[in-house]
Structure 1
Amino acid sequence: MSYLVLARKFRPKTFGEMVGQEHVVRALENALTSQRLHHAYLFTGTRGVGKTTVSRILAKSLNCQGLDGQGGVTATPCGQCQACREIDAGRFIDYTELDAASNRGVDEVQTLLEQAVYKPVQGRFKVFMIDEVHMLTNTAFNAMLKTLEEPPEYLKFVLATTDPQKVPVTVLSRCLQFNLRPMAPETVREHLARVLASESVPADDASLRLLARAARGSMRDALSLTDQAIAFGAGALEEATVRQMLGSADRGHVLRLIEALAAADGRTVVDTCEELRRQGLSAAATLEDMATVLQRMAVLQAVPAGVQAGDDPEALDAARLAAALPPDETQLLYSICLHGRAELGLAPDEYAGLTMVLLRLLAFKPATATVAAAEKKTPLDGRAGLSGAPVAPSAPSAPPRAPVAAATVLAPAPPARVPAAPAQPERLRVVDMPPVQVIAPAPAPLAAQAATEMPPDMVAIAVRDQPEPGARQQPRAGATPARLVATEEGELWHQTVQQLIAAEAINALPRELALQSQLIARDGDHWMLRVERESLNQPASRERLRAALEQAGHGARLSVEVGVVTDSPARRNAAFAQERQRAAEETVRNDAFVQAMVRDFGAKIVASGIKPIPPSSHSQATRS
């Protein structure tokens, strides 16, 4: 006798044997008991959750004749009468199953509907079961609409699909819809334990948990994997053999990776990934197992007393790791694991992708640690730190160099250096440094200077300005306004910031904080700044700017408040740039050749095309 696979051998024969679909079973049993029967049913759900099984049990309930042959419609079919046995064997003449995946045309549907005019031969009802109904063509759907809406009283339709979104609404509105849900891993594990006990197959609890999770809510997949595990393990199910069959990482590997990430131990992370490569274990399954553990850790961190460990051996490990990893890093690592699974296919190989995904958290750790350390430092007003006790300020360390892509600096374009500009001290010499360009102050009477340098034979005539083609660009959000109220402290702060930028002592967010802030007051070694945006006032940025100022010989303490800023280095740079642009436009308008072109050929000046000469280019032209 040939072997019958577990998925077929243990297919439920009655509603009482169904597991995990109590909401559907209860509704159908009540309808059968009260004789309130609908003419069309639609069962939806993922593969292997019992759609076809429910259809067959419903057909037996409608046609069961009882042991004495006098039975009627019932919610508990006997399973012994001729109708029940033939439906289970698939040869009942009044129960027709149509696979719409291979019979999706209008001809097949019309052939099925032609049988609807004939009354049942053996049973009480004709039952037409169409599996994967969403695969039917639009013409086939239209052909069955009328019969589906008003079938004969002896005809029942049962439709099943894994994708109800593709079923036309005209069909959905004619059916009573039931959604069969994916089964919980605990439900699958308990059912597998009963099946294996009846089969006399020894199995440990850990192997059943692995199979239940690998089934992903499908009981048929769980039973098929169990068949494979029995063959792989020579008649016994053990955790090691099941893990090897599934290609999933050992729990020790997963826990070791999370422990190494919590301790910022990059060497252990790389070595563990190489060990996974040597053993041929799945990188995607490793990330999935890590996400499972991290989810339990996050729940324990949010609700420490709300989760009971029970008899799950993984609960203790999750509790231990939850205490070792901060909640924010747990959430970050969970998100990285989820999104990293989609990146494995883009990597040169999946193990290289796994290594990069896990090292991504270590790349974010320094920034997180810097912010945490800066927030724990004692504020300038002497208040206690986060723990309530005063924290002594530590020695400043060299700030890490931030990526260029992370900097959002709204600095003006490099201007041209005016020859008559007063020379700055050597220590404040401005150098070209992309992407931030520091603009040297220009003399105020630029227009008068340009006018005095005009040749005596030049005649000033009216010049027509050509508007820019198309719509002008709108100013960027957050751009520095042109209004500037100069102060003595602002001049000192502008020169100091220029010195720090030229020396590359600040970059990224600290550089933006320095450019957008105004020096309000100085009290010995205490400098008070003011910014308009709260987003710039970050602990890490303040600490890095303070360290740069201290290295440059300035104040050792720094405090930042939020308020109106009227004199900042960025505003001064913008004002200088506007003045240089205006002077450049005046120079072009007063040029003899330009005026000749305007007078003789009707030329027009496009103001947007006039750019001041950069300082470096101007200096080279002067030397030549």
Structure 2
Amino acid sequence: MSYVVLARKYRPPNFGALVGQPHVVQALGNALRQQRLHHAYLFTGTRGVGKTTIARILAKSLNCTGPDGRGGITAEPCGVCEACRDIDAGRYVDYVELDAASNRGVDEISRLLDQSVYKPVVARFKVYLIDEVHMLSNTAFNAMLKTLEEPPPYLKFVLATTDPQKVPATVLSRCLQFNLRPMAPETIREHLADVLGREAIDAEPAALTLIARAARGSMRDALSLTDQAVAFGAGAVSEEGVRQMLGAVDRGHAARIVAALAARDGAGLVAAVDALRELGLAADALLEEMATLLQQMALQQAVPGALDADDPDAAPVAELAALLPADETQLLYSIVLHGRTEIALAPDEYSGLVMVLLRLLAFPPAGAATGGASAGSTGSPRQGRDAAASPVAVAAAAPRAVKGPGSSDVLAGALPPGASSARPAGGTSGPLEAPGAPGRDRREAARSGVEADAPALPTSAARSATAPLGAAEPPAPRGAGAALDARPLRAAATVLVEPRARAAATSSEEAPGDRMASARDRAPGASGASDEGSGSDSGSAAGPAAPTTAPSDPGQHLSGDHAGADPGSAEPMSDAAAARAPARAPDGIGAPADRWDAVVRRMLAAGSIGALVRELALQAECIAVDESASPLRWQLRVEREMLRTPAQCERLQSALAEMLGRPVRIDVEAGVAEDTPARRAAAERARRQSEAERLIAEDPLVKALMAQYKTARIVPGSVKPHSTLQE
């Protein structure tokens, strides 16, 4: 007698033996018991999940006569009557199976439908099973529509397909559709253990787990792999034999790599790849095993105890889950999934595997570190939260440098958000500020010789949301005004108007001076800097705290010790002027972050730092300056690990010492940097852009053009601050 494969030998004979599809069994069972029978059924699902098996069981249920030959429609076919036995053997005359993959034309379907007009020969119902129905041609589908909609009472259609998207909607609407789901690995493993137990074949649980995962939800594939494993193991199914047969990577390799990642051990990663190469294991198989392991680790971290206690790998997974934070586990899982698609693009699969593993090592997620790191250290593994910044509008005004006749670069400061903007009745003194306010600190720093054109310190809400933490920001353009003058509108912003409105704009330029002066008088905030320039007797420069009325005379200058030109003549401070600033750091003046921002700008103007050192300075937050230490100690916080290398820290330390003219020491710790020069620059750019767009939108000339030409509009993205256009 010839051997019968396990997939055919153990095909379920009734609904009770069917596993993995309880929702279909329940629906069909209730319909058969209540005699609520539809004339057409459609079973969809991937290969090997039971579509044909359910169709045969349904045909037996409709035509079963029972052991005594007197039975009727039942949800539990007997399996011993002539109808049940002939359907299982494939020789029942009233049960027709048609493979649409090889019989897809209209002629085959027409012959089948021609037979439908005849009543069953011996059965209660004539059942037509059309497998892979999506392969039928459009003409064949159209030929069967009428019969499928109103078949004879003795005719039942059963359609099966792996791709229901290709079945016309006219066919779908005529059928009861049942979607058969891929089976869970646990379900497949239990069924394999039952089958091998009946066959009296020894099988290791770990081997069955490997086969269940490799089946990808298909019970037929699992049984076929089991047949192969029995033959490979000479009558036994062992884990080692199944791994060798499937080319699967041992869980121990993936566990060692994850442990090396947690310990930041690059040498261990390379050694693991070399071991895989010697064993001849596929790189894609390793990444697949790592993805499975990381998924189980993430599950254990999110829901402790959720892993199957009977799984022998549950305990090692729990140990590994304790070594990594949850956010880093999620990042590693994502990188591994994307790395599987990149293996085919690499020069060879092992070099691609090495790059994926090095990426896992090089880019841990952002978060608070467990401890600080000096300038010569690279920091410890991340153990904290992600630090993601969401962009918000920054309304804080920034200090700027202005020039006046016969005056040097001076500071026009800005009030921090929330500070009082009240002015005395006389209007000759600056805004009221509490002692130690950021604006006062910056004015004092200006008197001590520090360049004061850096952007204002944003509030905590604005600081944390001005730019992504990983973004490399260029230094902010110097000299950007806190309130842009609208007198020469083209000098403040550029506007692109649609062609139909451009002619009118050109023809209405007879008196630009009068129009622009009037526009400046009406534009809120356009003259704030000019009016607030009248400082107090102490000579402090006041920033624009609130929109005020501008002087009617465009040539009016700022008064006081720090008087400069009117806002319309504000110019960015040149690199040469920044280089002429006193070559020393402020001693005890201002917050540490303000002092660091000032010295970074001076180093950038002098060109003493570049490349990664420049990026380190821009992305660092100064949290303390120890004046009592010898040498002077600057304590910085840097988030990105690749910037905290000893070489970059030493170069930055040398550049800072050369600029200050005294020995300094830089200590760098790992952590979330919230107030950095890069973030301040981004906040200033956003503020200038918003101010330019507001001035354009409120300009009377622009309003007149928009009102005259209904289709005219300001082209999005065409408005740029004047300082941006000069860069």
TM-score by length of 2: 0.59
What is the correspondence of 1:392-411 to structure 2 with a 5 Å cutoff? 395-397=374-376
**Identity among equivalent pairs (%):** 58
SS in 2 for 1:254: helix
SS in structure 2 opposite 1:372? coil
Aligned partners of 1:483 and 1:571 also within 8 Å? no
- 1:363 partner letter: A
Are the counterparts in 2 of residues 104 and 135 from structure 1 also a CA contact under 8 Å? yes
TM-superposed CA distance for 1:206, in Å, is 0.6
1:503 to 608, 611, 618: 608
Residue matched to 1:604: none
Q: 1:482 to 1:49 in 2, by over 3 A?
A: farther
Following superposition, the deviation at residue 236 of structure 1 comes to: 0.8
Q: 1:324 is paired with a residue of what secondary structure?
A: coil
Q: Deviations over 1:16-39 (max 9, x none)?
A: 111111111121111111111111
Q: By how many angstroms is 1:47 displaced?
A: 0.6
Q: 1:570-593 CA distances to partner (integer Å, 9 max, x unpaired)?
A: 969x99xxxxxxxxxxxxxxxxxx
Instruction: Give the secondary-structure state (helix, strand or coil) at the position aligned to 1:253.
Output: helix
| Count of residues in correspondence between the two structures | 504
Name the CA shift for 1:308/1:281 in 2 (closer, same or farther; >3 Å).
closer
- Do the aligned partners of 1:185 and 1:213 also contact (CA within 8 Å) in 2? yes
Contact kept, 8 Å, 1:49 with 1:183, in 2: the verdict is yes
Q: Which residue of 2 aligns with 1:334?
A: 333
Q: Which moved more, 1:214-223 or 1:490-499?
A: 490-499
Q: Identify the range of structure 1 (307-316 vs 228-237) with the bigger mean alpha-carbon deviation.
A: 307-316
C-alpha distance in 1 between matches for 2:75 and 2:683: 80
Match of 2:89 in 1: 89
| Residue of structure 1 in register with 2:309 after alignment | 310
Residue 124 of structure 1 corresponds to 124
How far the C-alpha of 1:441 sits from its partner, in A, is 7.8
Deviation of residue 556 (structure 1)?
8.1
Answering whether residue 479 of structure 2 is matched by residue 372 of structure 1, we say no
Mapped contact 1:262–1:324 kept (Cα < 8 A) = yes
Gaps of 5+ in 1: 378-393, 401-419, 429-433, 443-465, 473-480, 527-536, 576-607, 616-624
CA drift of 1:169 comes to 1.7
Q: Is the 8 A contact 1:493 1:569 kept in 2?
A: no
Q: Which residue of 2 aligns with 1:192?
A: 192
Kindly state the Cα deviation for residue 331 of structure 1 after the two structures are TM-superposed.
Answer: 1.0
Residues 494, 67 of structure 1: alpha-carbon distance in 2 compared, 3 angstrom cutoff: closer
Inter-CA distance 398–244: structure 2 relative to 1 (3 Å threshold): closer
For the pair 1:258 / 2:363, whether they are aligned, the reply is: no
Output the CA distance in 1 between the equivalents of 2:682 and 2:105: 74
| Partners of 2:3 and 2:476 in 1: CA distance | 82
**Against the structure 1 CA distance between its residues 421 and 135, is the aligned structure 2 distance closer, same or farther, given a 3 Å change threshold?**
farther
Q: For residue 286 of structure 1, what is the aligned residue in structure 2? A: 286
1:513–1:541 CA contact under 8 A, matched in 2: no
Alpha-carbon deviation of 1:349? 2.2
State the Cα distance separating 1:259 from its structure 2 match.
0.9
Q: Cα 1:468–1:327, aligned 2, differ >3 Å: closer, same or farther?
A: closer
Question: What is the match of residue 639 of structure 2?
Answer: 540
* Cα distance per residue 1:350-386 (max 9 Å; x no partner): 2222221121111113x747x425xx66xxxxxxxxx
Q: 1:470 to 1:510 in 2, by over 3 A?
A: farther
TM-score (norm 1): 0.69
Please give the alpha-carbon distance, in whole angstroms, between the structure 2 residues aligned to 1:31 and 1:129.
Answer: 19
1:355 match: 354
Q: 1:86 to 1:319 in 2, by over 3 A?
A: same
Structure 1 counterpart of 2:9: 9
* 1:159-238 pair list within 5 angstroms: 159-238=159-238
How far the C-alpha of 1:95 sits from its partner, in A, is: 0.7
Q: Post-superposition shift, 1:199?
A: 1.2
Deviation for aligned residue 1:497? 2.9
Query: Would you say the 8 A contact 1:43–1:179 is kept in 2?
Result: yes
Distance in 2 (alpha carbons) for counterparts of 1:128 and 1:329: 55
Q: What displacement does 1:546 show?
A: 11
Q: Map 1:135-154 to 2 at 5 A.
A: 135-154=135-154
Matches within 5 A, 1:45-84: 45-84=45-84
Segment drifting more, 354-363 vs 42-51: 354-363
- Report how far residue 251 of structure 1 moved: 1.6
Closer, same or farther: CA 523–113 of 1 in aligned 2, 3 Å:
same
CA contact (8 A) 1:421 1:441 kept: no
CA drift at 1:46: 0.9
Contact 1:525 1:555 in 2 (8 A): no
Q: Which runs of 5+ in 2 are unaligned?
A: 380-405, 410-449, 452-471, 481-493, 502-525, 534-540, 543-561, 563-588, 630-635, 689-719
Residue 41 of structure 1: how far off its partner (Å):
0.6
Equivalent-residue separation in structure 1 for 2:50 and 2:135 (angstroms)? 19
Query: Distance between the aligned counterparts of 2:476 and 2:269, measured in 1?
Result: 43
Q: How far is the alpha carbon of 1:131 from its aligned partner?
A: 0.7
Query: In the alignment, is the contact (CA less than 8 A) between 2:473 and 2:681 conserved in 1?
Result: no
Letter in 2 for 1:344: I
Counterpart CA distance in 2 for 1:117 and 1:350 is 61
1:437 & 1:237 partners in 2: Cα distance? Answer: 66
1:438-459 Cα shifts (integer Å, max 9, x gaps): 87889xxxxxxxxxxxxxxxxx
Q: What code does the residue aligned with 2:40 have?
A: A
**Could you say if the C-alpha distance between residues 437 and 265 of structure 1 is closer, same or farther in structure 2, counting changes exceeding 3 Å?**
closer
Q: How well do the aligned residues superpose, as a CA RMSD in angstroms?
A: 5.0
CA contact (8 A) 2:366 2:639 kept: no
Q: Give, in whole Å, the separation in 2 of the partners of 1:132 and 1:561.
A: 60
- Distance, in Å, in 2 between the alignment partners of 1:203 and 1:217 is 20
Say if 1:441 and 1:30 are closer, same or farther in 2 by CA, change over 3 A: closer
Task: Name the structure with the higher helix share.
Answer: 1
Q: Is the 8 A contact 1:67 1:78 kept in 2?
A: yes
